[in-house]
Amino acid sequence: MIKISEQRFIKINLITIVVTLLVILAGGIVRSTGSGMGCPDWPKCFDQYIPPTRLSQLPADYKEKYVEGRLKKNEKFAKYLESMGKLDLADSVRHDKTITLPEEFNVAKTWTEYINRLFGVATGLFLLLTAVYSFAYRKTAKRIIVLSILNIFLVGYQAWLGSIVVSTNLMQWIVTVHMLLALLILSISIYTYSYAKQLHKERSVIMYRISWLKGFLFFTLVVSVIQIILGTEVREGVDLISKSLALPGRETWVDKVGSIFHYHRDFAILVIVCNAIVYKMVIDRFSGKAEPLVTAKYIIATLLIQLVTGIALAYMSLPPMAQALHILFSSVLFSLQFYLYLLVYRTRTYKQ
């Protein structure tokens, strides 16, 4: 029997997972519409809690003001990198000329970025609620409390990193770290959700060997993370191309991204094959309405959506909506794979 306080935690945790995915979708929309610098400062937007809607609401020297602010923040960030021994990275931050380029005010891009930040605030609030409700497990599962509190610190670091993304004018490697940290926060939330749900249940027992499935699922998770990193680097390449006014329309951007796009496209074949093998292994071991089987079916459905949006990106001039959905469902795919791994991890083979 699950206590009411534990049921409340499970519900809040699930909502937190959904909201985190919505933040990733909002971030995908920001990237695909080129709105990442819609707010040139952080945490406010044009030094206001409610951003402006007209250029006349901004001071005449707003461009110089926010470039100067970014340079000061980046100098602090460069010193932080130096303290970690990352001298080359610190030097690249100091000498990146794109940081000094001012952004023109665009009301649509400003509000797109602002809404993205509101989703980020909502995620922080739900993570805080999750941490508060996690104390229902203070006598039964202290790891849930520890991980929920850890997520609060991680989302705080993520918020700071978001300010660095803005101050460095979307510097490539920082955007990748920003995405990977979002996946880490998501993974912790999924783990606490799964652990809380399975806490009072007996381990599942099946007649077939489960160790092969566990191992291959872990390998598939690694493949998915590599694919997400490659996809992030492709998006970074597209960002660089879109900033260049000398280049023609979107239909040429894919060709100009370079070899990283081809690596990402070809690696997708491995992702498809791995997930197909996982699905076959799951249906061989589970039947009926078993949660691992249901989760595996969701994985295949998500993979199909990823395939469709990937084809649209490659052959339809990078439509912004397809970009946002591709980013979202790559995270959904990873989430389902990780949840399936947690379910399978608690399964054991029957022994006489």
* This prediction's pTM: 0.85
Quick one: pLDDT at residue 69?
75
Let me know: does 338 contact 20? Beta carbons within 8 Å: no
Report the alpha-carbon distance of residue 337 to residue 279 in Å, rounded.
Answer: 11
Residue 245, pLDDT > 60, answer no
Q: What is the pLDDT of residues 316-329, one digit of tens each?
A: 777 778 888 998 99
Q: Is 45 helix (H, G, I), strand (E, B) or coil?
A: strand
Nearest C-alpha neighbor of 114 from the set 181, 68, 168, 53:
53
Write the CA distances from 102 to 37, 63, 64, 78, 97, integer angstroms.
10, 5, 7, 20, 11
User: Any idea which fold 203-352 has?
Assistant: Four Helix Bundle (Hemerythrin (Met), subunit A) (1.20.120)
Report the alpha-carbon distance of residue 313 to residue 311 in Å, rounded.
Answer: 5
Q: What share of the chain is helix, strand, coil (3-state, %, to 5)?
A: 75, 0, 20
Pick the more confident residue, 281 or 262: 281
Nearest C-alpha neighbor of 132 from the set 144, 116, 118:
144
Pick the more confident residue, 43 or 222: 222
Tell me the domain boundaries of the chain. 1-201, 203-352
Average pLDDT, whole number, for the chain? 84
